[in-house]
Structure 1
Amino acid sequence: MVKIIFMGTPDFSATILQGLLDSGTYDVLAVVTQPDRAVGRQKTVQSSAVKQLALTHRLPIFQPEKLTGSKELSELMELGADGIVTAAFGQFLPSQLLAAVDFAVNVHASLLPKYRGGAPIHYALINGEKETGVTIMEMVKEMDAGDMIASASLPISDEDNVGTLFEKLAFLGRDLLLETLPAYLSGSIKPQPQDSSKATFSPNISPEAERIDWQRPARDVFNQVRGMYPWPVAHTFFAGKRIKLHEVSLAAGQGQPGQIIEKNRKNLVIAAGQGAVSLKTVQPAGKPKMAIVDFLNGIGRTAEVGDFFE
């Protein structure tokens, strides 16, 4: 069996790890994932999806805050692994670790060289792409710049958001990895260099990027909301209070950007720079997520046509 170290963090990574474990072809010597983090308003400490899966299979787990220069790095290098498989790990791999194994490959959730970086699924949606995919590539020191082993694509629909695409791409990446890794290891697949002149980047979403700019066209607002759901979630302000927008739909109508142009018992329509969007699911500050009907029956009942979202 091929002895590997697996590195990954979210559900996307866990799907790929499960595929490797189920294949019976790979001996996972250890799993490396991000440290447990405090999440949510209650600051509940939560383990990554990869750690939770590793625990069920009783795999050795390493969680360095930073792999470079850590004691965990030395321990990993002593395991005698043939190679490394990574998927949404969230850290650079030290050069000495890459040099210590026969191969190191990454499952990246974009069609490289497009959307190198930590948030490729988010940006594919935000930018209104019609398709996305996964790329299996060799690991190098530069971010997502290694030679490409294989890729596969799928269409993006208006019903997709970050959550649905993460799930679709996780299964696509799992299947592509299991299909192509044996051929790559046997030498029958020759990796192809990326065209760096066509590279684009997808850095982690900043807090500033989460805020809705109502001057933009309605399609851009729609794409921003679904490109940030279920995390980190886009937001706007009304009457000085922040409101997260979990789901919106495109709507007819025109008005000044951010202006309420329609309100009834079931609908709240906001004008954008061109066109409008109808709010579907929102979350006022300090409140749970709610359907727009509940918002309008509660704290949103004071909103009137002509009022503005900031």
Structure 2
Amino acid sequence: MESVIFMGTPEFSVPILKGLVEKGYDVKAVVTQPDKKVGRKQKITKTPAKVAAEELDIPVYQPVKLSGSPELDELMQMNADFIVTAAYGQFLPTKFLNSVKIAAVNVHGSLLPKYRGGAPIQYSLLNGDEETGITIMEMVKQMDAGDIYAQKAIKIEEDDNSGKLFEKLSYLGRDLLLETLPKIADGTIQKTPQDKDKVVFSPNISKEQEKITKEMTAKQAFNLIRALNPDPGAYMMVEGQRLKVWKAKVADEATSLNPGCVVANKGRFAISFADNSVLDLLELQPAGKKKMPVKNFLNGQGSKFTLGEEIVDE
């Protein structure tokens, strides 16, 4: 079986790495991002890919920057058949891509050329897409621009959020990769160039994009909430305080209230948005507190809001 240098960082990459090992590929190394401080206590935390690699007894490399590093020289000397990347998080030098015997392959969480970049899964939700999928592509110097080996689509369900889609796509990516690698190895697969006229980019989510505003419709707010769940979370400013919204649904009703007003606060907590739309808030996290269902919120600080009151700040 062919040898592989695997490169990945988040949980998305773990089923793909394990799938390669279970299928019998000789994974010579796992390259992942450096350990980083996480949470309020700033605890040094290993990446999910590193944890999996250590469980599988595979050597781990964690250069801060791969290009020009001693680690790069070591990796190139392995003369692997494949490089396989799955949400690694760094550009790879061209000489490294060219060092493998067969191909450098990327498992990408979108239907390219739509959503090149670091946040394809989030943007599929943010834009209210009906489907997303996996692309197995040839790696080139330009970001996510290589020829396509294979693609497979799945429907985006109403209750999907970013976390659920990451999990679904990681297993879809594993299966499609394992189906595609033998065809690349024996030369029976045909590559398809990406249509440059249909390229859409999905840059990493910015801090500014995390905020729910009154200018949004309820549907747009709903899409933002699920796109940013579980990380980093979307929030709205309510009477000067940050209120994270982890779960919501678009109400069937319309309202004549101005955007940002309380539509209902008895048994449900609903807010008016643009175009007379209404959003039911279902799971909330007030500043300095834990996540809670809306019932608990209403029993606490939510009870002070009155119907028709404008509570959402700009």
TM-score tier by shorter-chain length is over 0.9
1:36 aligns with 2:38: no
Q: Any conservation in 2 of the 1:242–1:285 contact (CA below 8 Å)?
A: yes
AA in 1 matched with 2:274: G
Distance 1:32 1:279 in 2: 41
Q: CA deviation at 1:280?
A: 0.5
- State the 1:304 CA deviation: 2.1
Residues 45, 303 of structure 1: CA spacing in aligned structure 2 closer, same or farther, 3 A cutoff?
farther
Superimposed CA distance per residue, residues 42-66 of structure 1 (whole angstroms, 9 cap, x where no aligned partner): 2222111110000101110001111
Q: TM-score under structure 2 normalisation? A: 0.96
Structure 1 unmatched runs, 5+: none
- TM-superposed CA distance for 1:185, in Å, is 1.3
CA shift for structure 1 position 301:
2.6
> Contact 2:109 / 2:135 at 8 angstroms: preserved in 1?
yes
Write the distance in 2 (CA, Å) between the matches of 1:288 and 1:46: 22
Identity over aligned pairs, percent = 50
Structure 1: how far apart are the matches of 2:300 and 2:65?
Answer: 46
Aligned to 1:268: 269
> What is the Cα-based RMSD across aligned positions, in Å?
1.0
Q: How far off is 1:214 after superposition?
A: 1.8
Distance in 2, matches of 1:69 and 1:242, equals 43
- Which one is further off, 299-308 or 88-97? 299-308
Deviation of the 1:253 alpha carbon = 3.3
Deviation at 1:303, TM superposition (A): 2.0
Do 1:253 and 1:261's aligned partners in 2 also have CA atoms closer than 8 Å?
Answer: no
Residue of structure 2 aligned with 1:289, choices 280, 288, 291: 291
Q: Distance in 1 between matches of 2:90 and 2:215?
A: 36
Q: Which residue of 293, 307, 310 corresponds with 2:310?
A: 307
What code does the residue aligned with 1:48 have? Answer: T
Q: Any idea what SS the aligned residue of 1:304 has? A: coil
Structure 1 runs of 4+ aligned residues shifted over 3 Å read: none
Q: What is the CA–CA distance in structure 2 between the aligned matches of 1:46 and 1:176, rounded to whole Å?
A: 30
How far apart are residue 299 of structure 1 and its match? 2.7
Q: Could you say which residue in structure 1 is the equivalent of 2:279? A: 277
Residues in 2 aligned to 1:139 and 1:267: alpha-carbon distance in whole angstroms: 49
Query: How many pairs were matched up?
Result: 308
Residue 285 of structure 2: SS of its match in structure 1? strand
- Does the 8 Å CA contact 2:265/2:302 hold for their aligned counterparts? no
Task: Report the more deviating stretch, 173-182 or 212-221.
Answer: 212-221
- Amino acid in the other structure paired with 1:98: L
Superposed, which structure 2 residues align to 1:1-310 within 5 Å? 1-24=1-24, 26-102=25-101, 103-251=103-251, 252-254=253-255, 255-264=257-266, 266-274=267-275, 275-305=277-307, 306-310=309-313
